[in-house]
A and B are shown apart, each in its own frame.
Chain A
């Protein structure tokens, strides 16, 4: 039987604010345990939360980028459950009155199609601390608690169940991450837990209207794992349905090492979160002017930028996609084009040479690349004016990357300037013809490729410095003349 797959994703993103959601402790990742806390984020008796304005701003910025409706009145609520990584045994989050609702994200699918995935809601909350088990969770006799992460701002974004395949889910997540990173609100690092994803998956007979039973999947900590986990889960549910079984509504954990999802033990009794408005915080009535200021300052988003690269620089879709994978790379490219106005050539060099050395999605690495856009342009100008050959330029590029020097300095020091003196080149071509009677013979018998071999000989003899166009012309002249 064939089924329609219905997937919705909940993504938790840590915001890159300097301080926590409700206190002034820094949010730096990887500090020694329990060194980034204070009475507020450790939930000591008597302490009170105060909202971080920048966290709200980042939430609004993201909501606007997702075309959401910003709720003019929103507030925080307490969500109650006991867990030792949560200092107050309630989490300050948003419930009935979230920051924003009803938006969408346009996702490009492999193969070129585009899907618009609905965003149901976006809200802010505080993160919990970290538990370290002495052994595994199942066998540990005790667990250790580190509250450094407790209180770090989290933004939860819930998609509508518009996603139709595991592949689409991965594409959604990639597009989502790209937007957050380009907005500067999240570093997007899934390994460090800056971006965490849960999924709701259900299957229904192809074409059926009624939704199937949904299963929640947790613990997918990379793009690859999201796709693998969902592929497994879709298969598992399809097989169960094929056997005539019912899918149980439950939460399942993805086990990346073993490659399957497993049921979390069913709850002794259902959660009862007992939400009520956080009395220690007052409601937010977001100033419309502030929201408009944030809208006005939104940076260009990856998708719009990609379209602009195609139209403004006449680049192929493929190039535009690669060059806009991060804000830093797009900015690098545009800075280089400003200095050397041949967009396709710059694109080729960035894609083949720069990205060989650096990951294009690493904002920082690109921004701090040892070859600046201006220096890359300098190198390309030397090729363009014939000072060096393209082949030499690649070697110069590597040297520039290693030393951080300008192209011209390296070319001068290493004596790499192209030989374009006809007299010198003629001597070299004559020597090559004299040394390869067989090639000359072949050419005369109609094997024109033999000329290329001779050109190669000359280039090699010159250490790559001979002007290839002139050598080709000279070889052809001499072979046809003699």
Chain B
């Protein structure tokens, strides 16, 4: 069975009766059983629940009443989305045995659309990382080269989609955690506008930066997954109350007449020359399809990373304060309450989480608050203004997703070197604007490269339309890793 076909082809096969959700679900579960020991894409596989959901979808297809374009589609869900009755760990010891009594809005919407959850995808602990090496349970490996990282933090779902261990997936992007692993794994990863997909039930890392979004094998799949997940949620005060368009409808309209801006600041010294070459070639392809291309400047870009490493840890230190061994999760006994809490957190959190909690606590503390946190919030305004100014002239910003390709496990032990991975993805998170990463080539060593398209607030349709035009003009998205 072809487990590497896109969702829109899979559901067409369901409708034609060529196969069934149950048969496909079984095949995915068998492949996970066979391969995931080596890839490590999942923390928890929910085989029984998946079978029951698939069987219900079988009946609907048999009756000719499928729920929609995701009915019976097997997905990997990053283990930061709360799932009622299924443990939700965030890749952390501190939540190893946490079983939520409720579903995240995203999970509930996917269930209502008939999607089949195969399991909970691996991630860097609490979504803090760019390599999925910082999960408390195990690393995830890149299906294109098992010695390399899949990127992160949503490395589990990205590797699952690339490796044929799920038809699609959902992750979260706070500093690049969807787009960077999508680029590293050669799949499509979309970070929609902040508030476009509800955060209710998404275990928070940095609340003002957390964006849920889909992984797909191609742009059409990403559009279908976005459409099912997007929309206003009264349980999330930051969710946007705007209608959800049919994101697939405009895909074939092409890029003729669109103005693309190429930011000088996204082509920096030290970036992988193969990446730069592939991205510049991709821009030429878009030009050839009729898009206008011009240079733009996003001058605050060099400061975005530093800004991010103030705001995200600050919010994280606050969001993670609740893990204290009192209400849920791990408890390590101590002499008294404070001792118990301090030990629980010291044992329950990994090194990277502790580092960011410390950093965040420090930048918010008395005496430093204005110099760090206050300043970062103002620089964040400058990052937003950059995009506002650019989008006054162009419809999309086109850039590399990452300055390099998937690196070898253990290669980036220095935290700052690791953080530099996110230098091209962080600005769109800071500004809340939609951005996608689409495959745009391979290095000589056979590692995928990602092209990033960034659009105006709530203009996912144009982002997807340009990505689709590029995808249809190339065949990168059809390549799949060889996995024995």
Contacts and interface: CB of A to CB of B under 8 A. Distances in A.
Contacts of A50: 234-237
Interface string A323-338: 0000000000000000
A280 B207 contact: yes
A82 B326 CA distance: 11
Contacts of B369: 274-276
A279 B430 CA distance: 13
Interface stretch (A39-47, A113-121, A172-180): A39-47
A90 B321 contact: yes
B203 A46 contact: yes
B100 A279 contact: no
Q: How large is the interface on B (under 10, 10 to 19, 20 to 34, 35 or more residues)?
A: 35 or more
Interface stretch (B25-33, B146-154, B194-202): B194-202
A220 to B, nearest CB: 26
Interface string B369-398: 100010000000000000000000000000
A279 B315 CA distance: 8
B208 interface: yes
Contact of B373 (A51, A87, A276): A276
A470 to B, nearest CB: 75
B364 interface: yes
B237 A281 contact: yes
Contacts of B98: 45
Given A48-B199, A84-B324, A89-B324, A272 B365 contact: yes
Ranked 9 nearest A-B pairs via Cβ = A89-B321, A274-B364, A279-B207, A279-B208, A45-B203, A46-B201, A46-B82, A46-B203, A88-B322
Contact of B102 (A39, A80, A279): A39
B203 A48 contact: no
A50 to B, nearest CB: 5
Interface in A57-107: 78, 80, 82, 84, 87-90
A274 B366 CA distance: 7
B351 interface: no
B278 to A, nearest CB: 36
- Most chain-B CB neighbours within 10 Å: which of A46, A82, A90? A46
A31 interface: no
A39 B201 CA distance: 10
Contacts of B204: 45-46, 280
Contacts of B208: 279
Interface of A is mostly: loop
A87 B329 CA distance: 13
B203 A84 contact: no
Contacts of A145: 326
A282 interface: yes
A456 interface: no
Given A90-B321, A279-B315, A84 B337 contact: yes
16 contacts: A39-B102, A44-B328, A45-B90, A46-B202, A49-B237, A88-B321, A145-B326, A274-B317, A274-B318, A274-B364, A275-B364, A276-B373, A280-B204, A280-B207, A280-B238, A281-B237
B237 A82 contact: no
Contacts of A39: 100-102
B366 A272 contact: yes
B165 interface: no
Contacts of A44: 82, 100-102, 327-328
Given A43-B327, A46-B202, A279-B207, A80 B321 contact: yes
Q: How large is the interface on A (under 10, 10 to 19, 20 to 34, 35 or more residues)?
A: 20 to 34
Interface in B120-147: none
A336 B317 CA distance: 61
Contact of A274 (B88, B200, B365): B365
Given A50-B234, A50-B235, A274-B369, A45 B322 contact: yes
B104 interface: yes
A276 B318 contact: yes
B341 interface: yes
B248 interface: no
Contacts of B4: none
B327 to A, nearest CB: 6
Contacts of B203: 45-46
Contacts of A80: 318, 321, 364
A45 B82 contact: yes
Contacts of B238: 48, 279-282
Nearest to B328: A44
A89 B373 contact: no
B73 interface: no
B314 interface: yes
Interface in B202-216: 202-204, 206-208
B46 interface: no
Given A82-B321, A276-B373, A48 B327 contact: no
Contacts of B321: 80, 82, 88-90
A48 B235 CA distance: 7
Given A39-B100, A43-B327, A276-B373, A48 B237 contact: yes
Interface string A129-143: 000000000000001
A146 to B, nearest CB: 12
A87 B318 contact: no
A46 B104 contact: yes
A282 B241 CA distance: 13
A45 B83 CA distance: 11
Interface string A12-54: 0000000000000000000000000001001111111111000
B19 interface: no
A87 B237 contact: no
Given A45-B95, A46-B81, 6 more contacts: A45-B204, A46-B203, A48-B200, A88-B322, A279-B238, A280-B204
Nearest to A24: B235
A274 B369 CA distance: 8
